[in-house]
Structure 1
Amino acid sequence: MRPGWLGWMRQPRRLLRGVAYLVVPGELTLLVCLLAGLRPPAPVLAAGEAAVLLLLTAEAAVFLRLWRREGRTPREAVRELVPQPVLRLAGHELRLMWSLLLWAARRRSGPGPGEQVFGHARDQAGLLLGLGFVCVVETVAMSYLLRPWPVLHAVVLALDVYTVLFVVGLHAASATRPHTLSEHTLRLRRATHVDLRIPLERIASASYELLSAHDGKEDGVLDLPVGSQTSLTFTLSEPVESVGLLGGTRRVHTVRCHADDARSLLQAVTRARSSLPPPRGGPPS
């Protein structure tokens, strides 16, 4: 056996991920066939279920080894086994559902003591809630049409209900996660997938600039539109790192965002910047 192959086999994380990339699509294919009324041969179904069971057992065994024998925390063990994009997507969905609970309780996520809060969900509320209403109508219509097929009806109903929760959750996430400003940091957020912290000393200029066209192709520019528009532009003296939905990072030197009261946010940032101590070794700004 070649050394490279032996080294690969010694890494259970890679082995399990490779098996999962084969087993999970196969299991989904079998599920689609069953929903479509095509019943695969019994040996194929048994093999598919056995593969899933063995994969879950192996994942559990490796998790316990990483946790108990190698001293990893449960979170670190999960990160070793599950690809980062999958974890981030799952975390995104959980935060959306949690946002619904916060929204219903009229609470917010994130503002600390002494931080100023600036909402940014108002201009998209009508669009998202209208889309949610359309999804509700579609759910009722599909439920009526699929009554003769109970299994398909149950699957489509579950997907439709989740779609409604997802759309409303997007608005709830924006409403419960406002922009915040502390003595040293401007925190800009968008739903649950963008959380950018900008040290105030890195803001070279801030301006009110109403823009409605964003192609997203400008290098080093991060656009956070709400209702297809941004109203504030921050130019940075040093780039900051932005983390995407799936964990990818990029360095940005210009950030465009929106706030319900953009001029108030601009004034607050200007006041906070003016109260910063001058840099060491330099004249007061």
Structure 2
Amino acid sequence: MSTTDGAVVARYDRQLRPLIWGIVIASLIEAVALTLLLHRWPVIAWIHVAVCVLGLGFTWWSLRGYRNNPHTLQDNTLHLRYGRRIDVPVALDAIAAATATLRDAGTKTIGFTENTDGSADLTLGVAGVANATLRLERPIEVTIGKHGTRTVGRIHFRADDPNPLLRAINERANVVTG
């Protein structure tokens, strides 16, 4: 999907939405049921309601973060994101190739995998899956919050429909690099 300012946008939250909406619905049912059960202890019931409201607020905030912070390719920079928490800028001249791949991220939906040559791969998967890979022309430094900073040679990420983004990356990267 393209925007009016020429940016190419790729969302990645399609698999997360049903899960998050399931959490919201289950939380609402739980809040009502437990509030009814706790009616004899009004202080505990109100504390429970407050905790439920905070939890629902955080869940809604997370859902909006995934929806409002998609991957974007604008000018000569690709921004790979994961909600409000992670934004990895990658200069197009650092990208050798962008390909559609299917990679099981396993337990490392977000994180680094060390390679034997001393470099690392970065995975920004969703629901344990990444479906696109960037092979970098030169390694770049990436910092991911609690995971620290590593030099990466490949980046695996998830997009709902990766092909338009990958096509745009390869077209623009060829212009930038050669």
Question: Which segments of structure 1 move beyond 4 Å, counting only runs of 4 or more?
Answer: none
Normalising by structure 2, we get a TM-score of 0.84
In the other structure, the counterpart of 1:165 is 57
| Separation of aligned partners in 1, 2:41 and 2:68 | 39
Higher relative contact order structure (alpha carbons within 8 Å, sequence separation ≥ 6): 2
In the other structure, the counterpart of 1:138 is 30
In the other structure, the counterpart of 1:218 is 113
In the other structure, the counterpart of 2:133 is 233
Aligned match of 1:186 in 75, 78, 93?
78
1:267 aligns with 2:171: no
Task: Measure how far apart 1:246 and its partner are.
Answer: 4.7
1:149 aligns with 2:41: yes
What letter is aligned with 2:140? V
1:124 aligns with 2:16: yes
In the other structure, the counterpart of 2:158 is 258
Structure possessing the higher radius of gyration over alpha carbons? 1
| Separation of aligned partners in 1, 2:126 and 2:49 | 30
| Separation of aligned partners in 1, 2:4 and 2:93 | 20
| Separation of aligned partners in 1, 2:64 and 2:45 | 28
Aligned match of 2:68 in 164, 176, 179?
176
Task: Measure how far apart 1:214 and its partner are.
Answer: 2.8
Provide the alpha-carbon RMSD of the alignment.
2.1
| Separation of aligned partners in 2, 1:193 and 1:248 | 13
1:31-180 alignment, distance < 5 Å: 113-180=5-72
Mark the CA change 1:144 to 1:115 in structure 2 (over 3 Å): closer, same or farther. Answer: same
- Aligned residue for 1:131, secondary structure, equals helix
Contact persistence 1:214–1:223 (CA under 8 A): no
In the other structure, the counterpart of 1:26 is none
Contact persistence 2:11–2:70 (CA under 8 A): yes
In the other structure, the counterpart of 1:96 is none
Mark the CA change 1:154 to 1:243 in structure 2 (over 3 Å): closer, same or farther. Answer: farther
Task: Measure how far apart 1:247 and its partner are.
Answer: 8.4
Contact persistence 1:117–1:178 (CA under 8 A): yes
Mark the CA change 1:188 to 1:232 in structure 2 (over 3 Å): closer, same or farther. Answer: same
Normalising by structure 1, we get a TM-score of 0.54
Which structure has the highest strand share of the two? Answer: 2
Mark the CA change 1:142 to 1:255 in structure 2 (over 3 Å): closer, same or farther. Answer: same
Deviations 1:105-156 (A, max 9, x none): xxxxxx8943221111122211111121111111112211222222222222
Contact persistence 1:240–1:251 (CA under 8 A): yes
| Separation of aligned partners in 1, 2:23 and 2:8 | 31
Q: What are the ranges of 5 or more consecutive residues in structure 1 without an aligned counterpart?
A: 1-110, 279-284
Task: Measure how far apart 1:190 and its partner are.
Answer: 0.6
In the other structure, the counterpart of 1:28 is none
- Aligned residue for 1:147, secondary structure, equals coil
Mark the CA change 1:255 to 1:146 in structure 2 (over 3 Å): closer, same or farther. Answer: same
In the other structure, the counterpart of 1:72 is none
Q: What are the ranges of 5 or more consecutive residues in structure 2 without an aligned counterpart?
A: 115-119
| Separation of aligned partners in 1, 2:51 and 2:159 | 32
